Amino acid sequence: MKSEISVIMPVCNDERDVRSHALSILDRFPAVTRLFIVDAAVYPDGVSPLRAMAGTDVRIHIIEAPGAYPGAARNRAISRAPDGIIVHLDGGCRPADGWLEALCEPLLSNAADYVTGEVLPMKTPTRWFGFHHDAAPLFFAISTWGVRSQQCMAGGASVAYCKWVWEKAAGMPEWLRAGEDVLFARKVRLLGIRHCFAPDSICYWQVGPRIIDVLRRKYRYTAADMRLTPAPAHLKATIGRLVFFAFLLCTAAAFHPALPAAGAAALLLIARSTYKAIRRYYSRAGGSYRRLPPHIIFAIMPLCIAALYLFEAAGVIRGLPWRFARRKENRALIQQYLIGGHT
């Protein structure tokens, strides 16, 4: 690789693992010329404990941005990066072997100017009810991302692009707590930037470590999707589930009283979603779902799917004011960014 490659990694309150993670990236991927770590945490004394890392390797650059949202944190780092390739990597991500080479190859060969890599949940050994197993399928089932494909232009972790793309887009939106990557990718698409999908560039995301963390993130991302997307996928999914539930309810009510019918319809809906989630994970990650313990398939995962629906519905409700009561204000902010620059 001949081009300058700058990796942008925002972190917040997870400085304990940052040092080993940063050194591992530089050791495994020698093509990285600069690693920008943006610390957005707020410390009582105003001093980031990551400052000491700057002396361990000349390629490491520490940027302190107390309280900055993800878009503002990335903008500060990218503005200091040299012309070349910009790579996004979240602090909780662990790239697989060959990740950087596969992600940057289309850019170096001039086949694309914006590349999206694959993201999968990190293997998470855990123990429930006396059973040891990998919680990654469960986290994937209730996770926030969709299926990345050739048509997908993601803006979060595991993406790479030429720096001039960021300059042409006038940076990332800085006023958003979540969803800044969605809006940035939307603007890049509107600019007609050539993009592609690199399926061999695999990055593992630490989704948890707790189930409640995943559900809370689902709530925030659903609300952001309601605010930023012209046709929110979460809203369509929620409406689709309600329609399907009504269909199941009417079908079951023809044979049973109303209350048992509602329970049967809910169980069928959750069972269908659990089956689809398990199949979707193993179709991408490899392996066989038959190795999952029965209590995970028939108890834990259905309960988490049910909780997911509740948090997603709450996120839809949270985002409704931005689509109706505050529609003009929200549209003005989005249009200002899409037409002009970051704000």
In tens, the pLDDT along 300-323 reads: 777 777 777 788 888 888 887 776
Backbone angles phi, psi at 172, to 5 degrees: -100, 155
pLDDT of residue 237: 66
The pTM assigned to this predicted structure is 0.76
What is the Cα–Cα distance from 140 to 206, expressed in whole angstroms? 11
Q: pLDDT-based confidence at 153, cuts 50/70/90?
A: confident
What is the Cα–Cα distance from 314 to 83, expressed in whole angstroms? 42
Residue type, 336: Q
What is the Cα–Cα distance from 130 to 108, expressed in whole angstroms? 50
146 vs 267 pLDDT, higher one: 267
Mean pLDDT in residue range 31-41: 89
Mean pLDDT in residue range 159-177: 91
Of all residues in the chain, the percent with pLDDT exceeding 70 is 66
Q: What is the mean pLDDT of the chain?
A: 78
Residue type, 239: I
What does each C-alpha distance from 286 to 120, 137, 215, 258, 282 come to in angstroms?
11, 11, 25, 41, 5
pLDDT of residue 318: 84
Q: Closest Cα partner for 213 from 143, 314, 297?
A: 143
pLDDT of residue 247: 63
Q: pLDDT-based confidence at 47, cuts 50/70/90?
A: low
What is the Cα–Cα distance from 203 to 110, expressed in whole angstroms? 23
Contact 234, 225 (CB under 8 A): yes
- Does 232 sit behind a cis peptide bond, omega within 30 degrees of 0 on the bond before it? no
The answer, yes or no, to whether residue 2 has pLDDT greater than 60, is no
Cβ burial, residue 210 (10 Å; 0-12/13-18/19+) = exposed
pLDDT of residue 343: 45
| C-beta neighbour count of 192 within 10 angstroms | 8
- 197-220 residue pLDDT tens: 998 898 888 766 677 777 787 788
- 62-85 residue pLDDT tens: 898 888 888 999 999 999 999 899
CATH superfamily name and code, 5-208: Spore Coat Polysaccharide Biosynthesis Protein SpsA; Chain A (3.90.550.10)
Structure-block tokens of residue 186: 């939307």
Q: Per-domain residue ranges for the chain? A: 5-208, 214-339
pLDDT of residue 19: 77
User: What totals of helices (H) and strands (E) does the chain contain, helices first?
Assistant: 12, 10
> Tokens 């309600």 correspond to what residue?
242
What is the Cα–Cα distance from 299 to 40, expressed in whole angstroms? 38
Backbone angles phi, psi at 291, to 5 degrees: -85, -5
